Each structure stands twice: as structure tokens, then as C-alpha cells.
Amino acid sequence: MSLPQERTYYGRRLMERREEAGLDPFEMAAFLGIQPAWYFDLEAQDDLLLHFPLSQVARLLEKLDLSVEQLFSPPGQEHRCSQMFNLMDLLRGIRKFQEASRISVPESKAYLSYDLDEALADPATVWDWTVECIQFTCDAIGWDWLCVALKLPSSEMKPETG
């Protein structure tokens, strides 16, 4: 006999906010263009949300009126961002980091654990990144990933919605 899986705090926050908004999981799945089972899994397993494309996370946050900081801050730990930044700011920060540390783009790929070439060449592709990518990249350049503002639509780059 397996024990019921304990809800994670990201998932619990998603579920609470969805319920406060009067939405059901099937509506959320349709809004995101995913199977209902996948949406149920998002509310049950934190690691899935970390691997979800930023374009979808941004749509989810917008629909539920949440910020990255509100969704991902650990329970009982109030987190305050001294300064918010958007994805274009992050790309500029990566370039500055590369210049200051004299790390080439190929070297930064090894250092940052992600291939940044495409996003640096075409900023719109940053919406294909995942939350986990943002976490690792911000950590590597010394930025607080909880302060990223995922707002749609952006005048500088717009994600494709499918």
C-alpha cells in the first residue's frame, strides 16, 4: 500500500490560489494547453513546476495573480526583493557577468550549466527556459532568482502561445 503523496508548498500555493479564484483544475489545464493530469501533477510535485517553460509559468502566475517571489518563497520565510528584474535585465546581467569575468559564451555554458547562446542571440527564446534554469543562472551570477518578474506580454519580447 502506498501512502498519499504530501502536497508540496509550490503546489499547495497553486491549489489555494486557484481555489480562491474559483477555478477548477480542468479550467487551468485548458488555459495552459496541457492535459488535466499534468495540471494535477503541477499542484502535487514541485519538481515538475521547476521544469515547466517560463512562458507557461508566466501565464500561470498572471492567471492566479502571483509573483515568482510569492509562489516560490519557502513557507514561513518572508522574502522581500530589494529590486525586481525582468528577463531582459537578466540577459544583460549575464552579458555583464561574462565581460567582467572574461568568460566566453562557450565557457559560460560550462560555468552556468546551461547553453545561453540562443537566448543571448535571440532574447525571445528565454521564454523556453525553465524555472530551474533561472535558479542556476541567477545563482551563478549572484542574483536573487526570486526577484525575477515574469510578466506577459513584454514589450521587449513576447512568448509564443500555443
The yes-or-no verdict on residue 159 having pLDDT over 50 is: no
**Each residue's pLDDT tens digit, 4-24:** 344 468 888 899 999 999 999
Whether CATH 1.10.260 fits 9-72: yes
Domain ranges (residues) in the chain: 9-72, 87-147
pLDDT tens-digit readout, 93-117 = 988 888 888 776 566 666 565 667 7
Q: What is the pLDDT of residues 37-78, one digit of tens each?
A: 999 999 988 778 888 888 899 999 999 998 888 888 887 777
One-letter-per-residue 3-state SS of the chain: CCCCCCCCHHHHHHHHHHHHCCCCHHHHHHHHCCCHHHHHHHHHCHHHHHCCEHHHHHHHHHHHCCCHHHHHCCCCCCCCCCCCECHHHHHHHHHHHHHHHCCCHHHHHHHHCCCCHHHHHCHHHHHHCEHHHHHHHHHHHCCCHHHECCCCCCCCCCCCCC
Predicted TM-score (pTM) of this structure: 0.77
